[in-house]
Copies of this chain bind each other. A is one copy, B any other.
Amino acid sequence: MREREIVDAALRVFAQRGYHAAVVDEIADHAGISKPMVYLYLGSKENLFVACVRRSSQALVTAFREAADSGDAPELRLWRGLSAFFAFVAEDRDSWVMLHRQAPEQSEAITAELEQARESVMREVADLVRRGIDEGGADDRLGEVDVDFVAQALVGAADSLTDWMEQHPQEAPERVALRLMNMIWIGMRDVLGGEMWSPPQE
């Protein structure tokens, strides 16, 4: 299908050059057609970019969701979701570059698209964190605010660790996810258990 081919080409070019440096003519070349065809199928450059972001973000969200959607314990589900995320990034780096580096700057429509995807994942993560806490049986020392905090930190750490992963290509996605789980989950659980660090009084 033509549209798909065009989006494929656009994804590569956008990921490599960024939105503004990417020229529609070059995208058309990559797709093996001429510029007006791009406009016939996708309407405008911005719309084309949105199509790329949408496709990539949906693929990512779906990958995470399906991996995390078993009936098992929350921490296991979270680990699977994170593994799927790291696997996605390792496999389809263009998509990740697009979502992570290129898209944030752009216009309303694009930011909205991206925000929605991120929020969607964040909700899912927050949910797993919440269940993890409830299940632990500790008397809910963490409220909603804290759950959001943990989710935000976790997602941010995962984002950033994609760079680390790039420098350690021998490390399998599941192992990266495991490292992260150990860092975050244990800490969270133990804080719930009453263990806390605080600065000395002056």
Chain A: residues with CB nearer than 8 A to chain B?
18-20, 75-76, 79, 101-102, 104-106, 145-146, 148-150, 152-161, 163-164, 168, 178-188, 190-191, 195-200
Contacts and interface: CB of A to CB of B under 8 A. Distances in A.
Given A101-B104, A183-B187, 8 more contacts: A101-B105, A102-B105, A149-B179, A154-B157, A157-B157, A182-B191, A186-B191, A187-B187
A154 B180 CA distance: 11
A199 B73 CA distance: 10
A161 B156 contact: yes
A157 B178 CA distance: 17
Copies of this chain: 2
Nearest to A188: B183
A68 B152 CA distance: 24
A161 B182 contact: no
Centre residue among A159, A179, A183, A197 by max chain B CB count within 10 A: A183
Nearest to A145: B168
Nearest to A100: B104
Contacts of A178: 197-199
29 contacts: A18-B105, A18-B106, A76-B199, A101-B104, A102-B105, A104-B105, A146-B179, A148-B164, A152-B160, A153-B161, A153-B164, A153-B183, A155-B160, A156-B157, A156-B159, A159-B160, A160-B160, A178-B198, A181-B197, A182-B196, A183-B184, A183-B191, A184-B184, A184-B187, A185-B187, A185-B197, A187-B188, A187-B190, A190-B190
